[in-house]
Amino acid sequence: MTHRLSALVVVLSALTSSCGTDAEEGSINDCSSSQFVDRTAAGAARTIGYGGASGSTLFTYSPRCITIAAGQSVTFSGGATSSFGVHPLSPGALNSPRAGTAGNPIQRLTDGNMREVTVTFPSAGTFPYICEAHASTGMTGVVRVQ
């Protein structure tokens, strides 16, 4: 009986030690904690470029992972050449559409005439977003609100 109990303790110890958190804050859409750009300062630029605008490449957002304060806004901008028709913006994560904090203020945009949108984040949380057409190539990101 003692041998079985010892074996059970060993098995349980092994199982619990391998149980990490897959949902470390910031790991959504490949945004690890060290990748977040702090834009919480009052005068900080809070523009996320896409489609070649504001430092992005054609199929990336720049910056992809951004931290802001509650009540601040972020502008998604395709500059003069890219629109939400080519790069449809959508809330969520590539493999988990419901990832992040409930009530994501980012709305789905597919309008080919629209190049820019400003989104206000009223409360703290983790709000992932993707380009529906190019998420599988890494066109994803997260707005983390403190």
Sequence-distant (6+) residues with CB within 8 A of 42 are none
Q: How far apart are CA 101 and CA 78, in angstroms?
A: 26
In sequence order, the β-bridge partners of residue 113 are: none
Residue 96 lies in a domain: yes
Q: How far apart are CA 146 and CA 141, in angstroms?
A: 16
Range of the domain at 34: 29-145
Give 8-25 pLDDT, tens digit per residue. 333 334 333 333 333 444
Give 89-137 pLDDT, tens digit per residue. 999 998 887 789 999 999 999 999 999 999 999 999 999 999 999 999 9
Residue 15 lies in a domain: no
Residue 129 lies in a domain: yes
Residue 20 lies in a domain: no
Q: 66: domain CATH number?
A: 2.60.40.420
Sequence length of the chain is 146
Higher pLDDT, 2 or 107: 107
Q: How far apart are CA 98 and CA 118, in angstroms?
A: 22
Q: How far apart are CA 52 and CA 54, in angstroms?
A: 7
In which band, very low, low, confident or very high, does the pLDDT at 5 lie, cut at 50, 70 and 90? very low
Q: How far apart are CA 144 and CA 131, in angstroms?
A: 18
Residue 5 lies in a domain: no
Model confidence, pTM: 0.80
